[in-house]
Amino acid sequence: MEQEVLVVGANGRVGRASVQAFLDAGWKVRAFVRSGSADRVRSGVTVFEGDAFDAQAVAASAEGVDVIVNALNPPYERWATDVPRITESILHAAKASQATVILPGNVYNYGEGMPLRLREDTPHAPTTRKGTLREEMEDAYRKAATEGVRTIVVRAGDYIEQQETGNWFDSYISNKVHKGVVTYPGPLDRVHSWAFLPDFARAMVELAEVRSTLDDFETFGFPGFSVTGAELISAIETAVGHPLKAKTFPWPIIRMMSVFSAPMREVIEMRYLWDVPHGVDGSKLERALPGFRATEFNVAIGDALGEQGAATGTAYRRGALKMKAETQ
């Protein structure tokens, strides 16, 4: 029997990747997007337009689906007001449709004192406002599990992806690669957690397909790439085929801007993620999905830079990287 998924927030970065991954896996896909943005959804998808805060509208779009992906991620400065309302809408829809919710998670829950390896049983101790909000959100889903709502949290670090969407990698780290410059936000010897977004979305699909074997509330770490800043820059240099000048991120300027800018204050709050070494452990995910194969690190970097190169008119050795990976 054909399975069907509703992706709420289908035009965002995780939403767009989720739509593609579920389609590739043969699922029927519905997309819930804000009014007036249906034309941005790719073909082959049933589109519902509306307000994600309208629980009834979200529930109507979810009628009969097997899985709901909550891909909504409002701007940082609106988390306190928007995240609880989004959670309420998604849970209402899940209860009405009896669908499993898949929730993209992050590492904010662990806080500034987090250890190097982040496992599902690593204690949560958020030290930021946004970390506390994420913890409260997950607690709401955990509570809903006692009321019959199955939820799968898939936790990852920062995303690397094939389209430019304003994330750390494309907006700050690699945005001047075509000028021979790479900018890194932290010390180059600290491990940072990254996830190649197409792989992350594929993992969500594969977990959705084994959901009947899981508990009503499950969390999985998505390991992605745990690499230092130096290792990331080296991979970028391999992709572009020449050395790059590494510059430091202008945190003092961002701090000054934060006096007047709410978004900059939110960015400053999360600076510790670049100073505290951390990586996501994927052992549990590997046990659940023993056949899952992630994209090789250099290939992922080459793919991401290949898309940016197409946008800037810069030629990167994307094909060469893929050929190299296939022959190893």
pLDDT-above-90 percentage for the chain: 88
Q: In whole angstroms, give the CA distance from residue 253 to residue 53.
A: 35
User: What confidence tier does 306 reach under pLDDT thresholds 50, 70, 90?
Assistant: confident
User: What confidence tier does 326 reach under pLDDT thresholds 50, 70, 90?
Assistant: very low
Q: In whole angstroms, give the CA distance from residue 101 to residue 70.
A: 7
Chain-centroid distance of CA 59 in Å reads 24
User: What confidence tier does 166 reach under pLDDT thresholds 50, 70, 90?
Assistant: confident
Q: What are the sequence ranges of the domains in the chain? A: 4-157+195-221, 160-192+225-279+295-327
pLDDT at residue 162, as a whole number: 78
Q: How far is CA 57 from CA 35, 42, 173, in A?
A: 12, 21, 39
Chain-centroid distance of CA 49 in Å reads 23
* pLDDT 10s digits, 197-236: 999 999 999 999 999 999 999 999 999 999 999 999 999 9
Q: Are strands 100-105 and 151-155 parallel, antiparallel or unpaired?
A: parallel
Least confident of 103-117, 170-184, 304-318: 304-318
164 has a pLDDT exceeding 80: no
Residue 239: phi and psi, rounded to 5, are: -65, -40
User: What confidence tier does 36 reach under pLDDT thresholds 50, 70, 90?
Assistant: very high
Task: Specify burial of residue 77 (Cβ count, 10 A radius: 0-12, 13-18, 19+).
Answer: middle
Q: In whole angstroms, give the CA distance from residue 104 to residue 112.
A: 20
* pLDDT 10s digits, 274-290: 999 999 999 999 999 99
Q: How far is CA 51 from CA 34, 78, 146, 250, in A?
A: 6, 15, 27, 37
Q: In whole angstroms, give the CA distance from residue 239 to residue 161.
A: 15
pLDDT at residue 165, as a whole number: 72
Closest CA to 325 of 196, 202, 230, 141: 196
DSSP lists the bridge partners of residue 48 as: 32
How many CA atoms, within 13 angstroms, populate the side-chain half-sphere of residue 209?
17
310 has a pLDDT exceeding 80: no
Q: May I ask the CATH class of domain 4-157+195-221?
A: alpha beta
42 vs 205, residue with greater confidence: 205
324 vs 159, residue with greater confidence: 159
